[in-house]
Structure 1
Amino acid sequence: MSTTTSNMQDLLVSAQDLSLRYGSKTALERATFNIPKGRVIGLLGHNGAGKTSLMKALVGLLPAEGQLQVLGLSPRQQRGALLEQLCYIPDVAVLPRWARVDELMCLMSGLQPRFSAERARTLLKRTSVGEKDKIKNLSKGMVTQVHLALIAAIDARLMILDEPTLGLDVLSRKNFYEMLIDEWCDGERTVLISTHQVEEVETLLSDVMMLDEGRLVLNISLEDMDKRFIALSHDPATAEAIASAHPLLRYRQQGGRSAAIFDGAPPADIAALGERIRPSLVDLFMALTRNPALQAKNA
């Protein structure tokens, strides 16, 4: 997601040397990135990598070192104005169980000047939830659908979602993302999604940002990712030769065939030993990040 001077006006987020610290603990270390309009960006990282901290900084909930502008505003100093143009669902988001759906729409109309109750009703028609339903009587998947309908009914430019489908079954997650893409993404608005369900969102994304222990290790469009990273599927007999070229990751494909991922084109003699395939986002994630749980286990 590199940005030239000519399209600076399209930027929704601009961060330069952004750092976040909790006392002596560093959650984010000197991250520099831009987020333009009209994108669907996956924010990936293991637990503790800094994803939630970064999202909280973007909405003004955490102070950060460095330079940060969101929608042309300072998230901390101009948070009221920012939240009129930005919507956010944190990973601990809840709706009051005692409330009816129509009561929540009334509440949103009073709190958020860019909220459209008519738009929320249209979005709810995509679900099995009625306006008179109480939150306490809905399944977790239905509550998540209501939450998205309320948030997507805000005429915002940027939506930030922190593990929005956590704990939902496969069908509920599919319905959530279909509603998000169909009803909110319009080529102008941008969505930043933090999720562990990498396989499920890969086809929805235009870009990916990867965090590894507070460091931004990848910030790229999926189109450029496919050009930059090359995977070779190969026979076990050539494994030693492939390994000598120092790939980012060696792994087993389904069916038992070996594969390796390279950052850039491998030497021609190495490339001739295998068949080029597209590396999945999951495999690339494993190649560029470390799993803290596995590190602790192997220590």
Structure 2
Amino acid sequence: MSNENLVQARGLSLRYGSKTAVDNIGFSIPKGRVVGLLGHNGAGKTSLMKALVGLMPAQGELQVLGLDPLRQREQLLSGLSYIPDVAVLPRWARVDELIRLMSGLQPNFSADRARALLKRTSVGPRDKVKTLSKGMVTQLHLALVAAIDSRLMILDEPTLGLDVMSRKGFYEMLIDEWCDGERSVLISTHQVEEIETLLSDVMMLDEGRLVLNISLEEIDSRFVALSHDPAAAEAVAAAHPLLRYRQQGQAMALFDGAPPLQVEALGRRMRPSLVDLFMALTRKPEIQPSAQV
């Protein structure tokens, strides 16, 4: 594995019996990146994250921090942090008790850093978990995990069920207090619009296949969204865009690469959003009718 890559996968497949959850994918995650892992429910996101933290056997090549996640899991966890989609903390425990517990369990955990992070929240050291709101529990969990001196953080739907302000606070703490240009974060989420500005890269899974693995800078140079008048719809459709849709009442078309010059002259180039790309590259029947102009 390259010294720059914290994760390296080649020909990676994950299976539950006869069901294939992830199908022969390859990717790498260098240091200093914030990677969004996007996909519909059942696309293979959680299975992939479980494999990365050594909770699921894999076929193919997989190294995380230069280690085999399954065979060297104990060593791996000293340099990796993980928040699953259902974060559970003991309801009876006080916050200061959890900090002491983490100090005894995780050698790379800093109690002082955890206390400093919690000062950014409304969670007090004497509060019991059972008295905290769901948003406060999530902030507590992030503070405990972010206080571990690790190189890679994996977050599986970390803000599921939280309100907008709680989600915003969670991501602000993550970016401000943990990301430092050397560590990397892999985030699985359905709140694509909210995290797009935080990301450096995006990976999209569709039914176990990796349909996009790209930096946000490359998205700007590769994909083109074209707004156009309804009268030009037939000519635009003839150029075979990835997706035709409406945005704020405006007819739009999304192309992989620059559209033909005669078609581009019919509209105005715009930057496609991750949501647009997600709709174009993942094929769920329930979203396709609304995507047509």
- 1:9 Cα offset (Å): 1.3
**Separation (CA, whole Å) in 1 of partners of 2:142 and 2:51:** 21
Aligned match of 1:196: 190
**Separation (CA, whole Å) in 2 of partners of 1:274 and 1:294:** 25
**Separation (CA, whole Å) in 2 of partners of 1:290 and 1:117:** 46
Aligned match of 1:106: 100
- Equivalent residue for 2:267, pick from 256, 270, 274: 274
2:236 aligned with 1:219, yes or no? Answer: no
Q: Which amino acid aligns with 2:32?
A: G
Secondary structure of 2:115's counterpart equals helix
Aligned match of 2:256: 263
2:132 aligned with 1:138, yes or no? Answer: yes
Unmatched tracts of structure 2, length 5 or more: 289-293
* TM score, norm. by length of structure 1: 0.95
- 1:257 Cα offset (Å): 1.1
Q: Which amino acid aligns with 1:19?
A: S
- Tell whether the 8 Å contact from 2:10 to 2:61 is kept in structure 1 after alignment: yes
Aligned match of 1:289: 282
Aligned match of 1:244: 238
Q: Which amino acid aligns with 1:267?
A: P
- 1:180 Cα offset (Å): 0.3
Alignment of 1:165-204 (within 5 A): 165-204=159-198
**Separation (CA, whole Å) in 1 of partners of 2:283 and 2:110:** 43
Secondary structure of 1:9's counterpart equals coil
- 1:284 Cα offset (Å): 0.6
- Tell whether the 8 Å contact from 2:92 to 2:130 is kept in structure 1 after alignment: yes
Deviations 1:241-299 (A, max 9, x none): 00000000000011x1100000001111111111000001101100000226558xxxx
Secondary structure of 2:90's counterpart equals coil
* TM score, norm. by length of structure 2: 0.97
Secondary structure of 2:276's counterpart equals helix
Q: Which amino acid aligns with 1:199?
A: E
- Tell whether the 8 Å contact from 2:279 to 2:287 is kept in structure 1 after alignment: no
- Tell whether the 8 Å contact from 2:242 to 2:256 is kept in structure 1 after alignment: yes
Unmatched tracts of structure 1, length 5 or more: none
Structure 1 segments of 4+ aligned residues over 4 angstroms from their partners: 292-295
- Tell whether the 8 Å contact from 1:43 to 1:51 is kept in structure 2 after alignment: yes
- Tell whether the 8 Å contact from 1:39 to 1:207 is kept in structure 2 after alignment: yes
2:5 aligned with 1:18, yes or no? Answer: no
Report the count of equivalent residues: 288
**Separation (CA, whole Å) in 2 of partners of 1:95 and 1:239:** 54
Aligned match of 2:203: 209
What's the % identity of the aligned pairs? 78
Alignment of 1:69-84 (within 5 A): 69-84=63-78
Deviations 1:31-52 (A, max 9, x none): 1001000000000000000000
